[in-house]
Chain A
């Protein structure tokens, strides 16, 4: 049975090369600093972040928000005379003209309407992220930490909500919300209602994370030291689960924005005279051949927001959980060349001692 292992005595080179390679990542930085560094090294995520912040600033400063006036001369409800047949007057970045995104059929300024729609979408997105994220984390944490009948009850509740199709439930709740209040309050109510049902997936993930973390040694240590449940949950487990939470809340927000536009498209979300990106597309899709800009601009804004949020979420995932970011052979090779001349020896030197000891200590098994 013995497979003749050629025990090479040359395998004395210690694992210094890999230590050289990893040095920059283990330079005594705090966890937060390492994560920040990884995130800021991710070009698509940073570009997306800049784009997203730009869109938010543009939307909220241009036409103003909640009574505070903005720098743009029109608002989304005022009628202005038809100029140029309603076509966009945008020439280049420093010459916007009177109506950069054109005008709709009845002569409202389309730039202001698009900005109002963007405001609505972003507001709903953040409300859904906050409400859904909060409920998801609390339910997941409580059921994962306490187990027993609490977990059974909460998880059955999740099962009940999860089999009701999201769009269907959001439609019913959004309708109720739209009937009670108007304006910004209606938008926020819609976000709260959608947030009340969108948390189920997140709560399952958080529960799973808590189930593994509560069995770890540091939790036992804290419990033996006399820490209360609240303290263990908030001080010991939650900081370790924060990566999963942040990443999934971000992705939740990206899907929330599509859900909101879908609802508004079906006429179940934001109600006229207020506008949202979804309702703008819905109202103007028939005009595609005559006034294509009415269709293009809101759509491009949805795609830009959603795409940038998705890339930010992906960047956060890579930053929090480097296991997801797979080994890059090309980069490692480059690093190896710069790092040390003995880098090529890393593999054989790492494995040979193990094989050697196995072969000598238990010659009968042949299993290193």
Chain B
């Protein structure tokens, strides 16, 4: 195993060396760095040209310039040397600095999108595989193909127009019109029908109930002015928390397991107590506080499950921990809603919260809640766009993988020995269906770091893709291009290695060759 990893790493270094040489030469070849000055009629044209020639070191041939650059870049891999020289940008800023800033933005942009796409995509794939050849299956398949065929810049403009500008206009006077109530409730009704199975009568009843509930909710939200002053309150927290606890138990242990169900439900009053006790401390909270809250909720859940006892404590602990995590999330969500009017009426926001460009509002003052809300409203649209695009491949792959698994002999065995369908699906099929997806996820993360170029451009994120294109297009400047390439290439190689190793850990039939 160690031999294998070492051999892979050595190959990776060689590949990286070859590829970086290639990229450097291509960048140098890609255009005339003096083109704009040649055509200009500035009086100090010659001096400017001379300066740029010196900055870019154009008197040295490109292959030799590469090795000069490599001499500086090689210092980065020497540990504890404290020096990392990737050269200077055209404006004199060190590439390492610009790169650190850009990488931060890119990671901010893709993290939430990747996690959401994986969760939603895999759930959709599993559900459609279990309901193969149903209306739901066909519609999800069609949607997957459609999203797969959408250019991101096109969908981004649509999102900006209808998601941001339209929603902001709506927030000025948050009353649903009768038409939108009809459309909204019909939409929810159709969704209910798609997820249901059974006779047509059952489906019609499902449609009616779904549509009626939605219409009632929309009217209620309009009348109470919920959108200007949102919030959940203790009663709604308790209700949604109980729902979440029930759902989590159903998925992890099955509601027949009373101990697990009760330990998950016990988390609801604990969450409410925490809500009142912690509320005064929420004002000055930081990211660390939120992480501690999440960890605390999980630990309390584990403790409750353990104290419930019974023959299988693990199941109760798992159910209670997950329920605790979700309830803590609901409490935090409520707190965000309480802060919403402050954010909405902030002088820098002026009642148009959903942003179309950038990663944050400049010069926005406020506590952690306000700042997080600001990040959230800026990330909302690019995240939706990225999720829609990567959703397609995840749902397709997980569907195919799940279908393959459901035909296996051990699934038949599991059913034959009388296991409930939930256990068969969640424990025998689902886990095995995830194995091929682990590699896909690893490859995807490797590719996404460099692949969000267009998304960054559309939403004016100054991330790595933007840095790359900006240093390539008018004046080719190899240093930042190489910096971006190094990060993208190293991440891709490392994740490829991780993918291979994870595969052999998850699936003992696959052994790595030493």
| Chain A residue nearest to B19 in the complex (CB) | A160
Q: A262 and B485 in contact (CB under 8 A), knowing A164-B23, A169-B26, A310-B148?
A: no
Interface check A163, CB cutoff 8 A: yes
Interface check B200, CB cutoff 8 A: no
Kindly identify, within residues 225 to 271 of chain A, every residue whose CB is under 8 Å from any CB belonging to chain B.
Answer: 254, 258, 261-262, 265-268
Interface check B151, CB cutoff 8 A: yes
Kindly identify, within residues 307 to 336 of chain A, every residue whose CB is under 8 Å from any CB belonging to chain B.
Answer: 307, 310-311, 314, 324, 326-330
Interface check A16, CB cutoff 8 A: no
Across the interface, do A302 and B15 meet the contact criterion of CB distance under 8 Å?
A: no
Q: Which of A164, A268, A324, A326 contacts B19 (CB 8 A)?
A: A164
Report the bound CA distance from A161 to B22 in whole Å. Answer: 9
Q: A172 and B153 in contact (CB under 8 A), knowing A167-B451, A266-B453, A266-B457?
A: no
Interface check A352, CB cutoff 8 A: no
Chain A 73-112, CB-CB to B under 8 Å as 1, else 0, gives 0000000000000000000000000000000000000000
Residues in A neighbouring B451, C-beta threshold 8 A: 165, 167
Across the interface, do A295 and B157 meet the contact criterion of CB distance under 8 Å?
A: yes
Of the listed stretches B212-220, B248-256, B487-495, name the one at the interface; the rest are far from the partner chain. Answer: B487-495
Across the interface, do A258 and B132 meet the contact criterion of CB distance under 8 Å?
A: no
Number of CB contacts from chain A to chain B under 8 A = 131
Residues in B neighbouring A328, C-beta threshold 8 A: 132-133
| Chain A residue nearest to B389 in the complex (CB) | A258
B95: min CB distance to chain A, Å? 16
Interface check A168, CB cutoff 8 A: yes
Across the interface, do B27 and A172 meet the contact criterion of CB distance under 8 Å?
A: yes
Binding site of B, secondary structure by majority: helix, strand, loop or mixed? helix
Of the listed stretches A21-29, A33-41, A130-138, A280-288, name the one at the interface; the rest are far from the partner chain. Answer: A280-288
Of the listed stretches B110-118, B338-346, B466-474, name the one at the interface; the rest are far from the partner chain. Answer: B466-474
Residues in A neighbouring B22, C-beta threshold 8 A: 160, 164
Interface check B454, CB cutoff 8 A: yes
Across the interface, do B31 and A175 meet the contact criterion of CB distance under 8 Å?
A: yes
Report the bound CA distance from A324 to B400 in whole Å. Answer: 8
Across the interface, do A173 and B26 meet the contact criterion of CB distance under 8 Å?
A: yes
Across the interface, do A261 and B151 meet the contact criterion of CB distance under 8 Å?
A: yes
Report the bound CA distance from A307 to B454 in whole Å. Answer: 20
Q: A285 and B153 in contact (CB under 8 A), knowing A165-B450, A262-B454, A326-B132?
A: yes
Report the bound CA distance from A165 to B468 in whole Å. Answer: 11
Across the interface, do B450 and A311 meet the contact criterion of CB distance under 8 Å?
A: no
Report the bound CA distance from A254 to B19 in whole Å. Answer: 26
Interface check B59, CB cutoff 8 A: no
Q: Which of A169, A176, A289, A324 contacts B29 (CB 8 A)?
A: A176
Across the interface, do B18 and A288 meet the contact criterion of CB distance under 8 Å?
A: no
Q: A175 and B472 in contact (CB under 8 A), knowing A163-B16, A163-B493, A282-B153?
A: yes
Interface check A198, CB cutoff 8 A: no
| Chain A residue nearest to B446 in the complex (CB) | A163
Kindly identify, within residues 455 to 514 of chain B, every residue whose CB is under 8 Å from any CB belonging to chain A.
Answer: 457, 465, 468-469, 472-473, 481, 484-485, 488-489, 492-493
Residues in A neighbouring B492, C-beta threshold 8 A: 162-163
Across the interface, do B31 and A288 meet the contact criterion of CB distance under 8 Å?
A: no
Residues in A neighbouring B481, C-beta threshold 8 A: 168
* Size of interface on A: residues with Cβ below 8 Å to B: 46
Most buried by B among A159, A282, A302: A159
- Which bracket fits the contact residues of B? 35 or more
B171: min CB distance to chain A, Å? 19
Residues in A neighbouring B290, C-beta threshold 8 A: none
B324: min CB distance to chain A, Å? 39
Q: Which of A156, A258, A326 contacts B11 (CB 8 A)?
A: A156
Residues in A neighbouring B148, C-beta threshold 8 A: 254, 306, 310
Across the interface, do B489 and A163 meet the contact criterion of CB distance under 8 Å?
A: yes
Residues in B neighbouring A165, C-beta threshold 8 A: 447, 450-451, 453, 485, 488
Across the interface, do B473 and A164 meet the contact criterion of CB distance under 8 Å?
A: no
Across the interface, do B30 and A175 meet the contact criterion of CB distance under 8 Å?
A: yes
A314: min CB distance to chain B, Å? 8
Residues in A neighbouring B450, C-beta threshold 8 A: 165, 167-168
Q: A159 and B472 in contact (CB under 8 A), knowing A281-B154, A285-B153, A307-B149?
A: no
Residues in A neighbouring B23, C-beta threshold 8 A: 164, 168-169, 172
Interface check B368, CB cutoff 8 A: no
Across the interface, do B29 and A306 meet the contact criterion of CB distance under 8 Å?
A: no
Report the bound CA distance from A170 to B514 in whole Å. Answer: 36
Across the interface, do B149 and A266 meet the contact criterion of CB distance under 8 Å?
A: no
Across the interface, do B153 and A303 meet the contact criterion of CB distance under 8 Å?
A: no
| Chain B residue nearest to A311 in the complex (CB) | B145
Interface residues of B (CB under 8 A from A): 11, 14-16, 18-19, 22-23, 26-27, 29-31, 132-133, 145-146, 148-154, 157, 161, 400, 403, 407, 447, 450-451, 453-454, 457, 465, 468-469, 472-473, 481, 484-485, 488-489, 492-493
Interface pairs (15), CB distance under 8 Å: A160-B22, A167-B454, A167-B465, A168-B453, A175-B31, A179-B31, A254-B149, A266-B469, A281-B157, A303-B146, A303-B150, A303-B151, A314-B145, A326-B407, A328-B132
